[in-house]
Amino acid sequence: MSEGASGVDLYAAVEDEVVIEPQEIRSIPTGVSIELPSGYEGQVRPRSGLAINHGLTIVNAPGTIDSDYRGEICVILCNLGKNPVKIRRGMRVAQLIFQPVLKADFFEVEELQKTRRNEGGFGHTGT
C-alpha cells in the first residue's frame, strides 16, 4: 500500500462472510497461486493493523510458501481477541514477503565447539 512496503498484501477470497470467534483458527483462501524461482520462498506474515485492532494473527507465522508449491495460498488466522472478527471478500488478511533460501549441508560430529553461552537456553542471557 506504500512505496516502501516490504511485502504485498494478500486479500480474502471468501465467497461469504467468515466469522472468526475468539480463540478460533480458520483457513482463509486468497485466490492466489504463485510460481517462485528455485532458491526463493514466500513468507506469509500477519498484518499489524489486524493484530492491534482485532487480535488476529497467523498461527504458523511466518507461513512458508516453498518454490515447488503450486496450490492456492491460504492464511491460517487465529483470533486472540475478545470479540468475533468478520472476514469479508477483498479484506487484506496478510502480507507476503519474498526471501532467498540458504541450503545447509549436515554432517555428524562427535562434539560441538564450545561457546561462551554453550547450552544456556531460554532466559539465559537475561530477561
Closest CA to 19 of 59, 61, 77: 77
Residue 38 is assigned to a structural domain of this protein: yes
- Per-residue pLDDT of 50-67, as tens digits, reads 999 999 999 999 999 999
Residue 126 is assigned to a structural domain of this protein: no
Q: Which residues pair with 56 in a beta bridge?
A: 79
Q: CA 60, 102, 76: angle at the middle one, nearest 5?
A: 15
Closest CA to 63 of 24, 25, 89: 25
Strand, helix or coil for residue 46: coil
Residue 36 is assigned to a structural domain of this protein: yes
- Per-residue pLDDT of 70-82, as tens digits, reads 999 999 999 999 9
Domains: count for the chain = 1
What does the alpha-carbon distance between residue 25 and residue 11 come to, in Å, rounded to a whole number?
A: 17
Domain with 59 in it: what CATH number?
Answer: 2.70.40.10
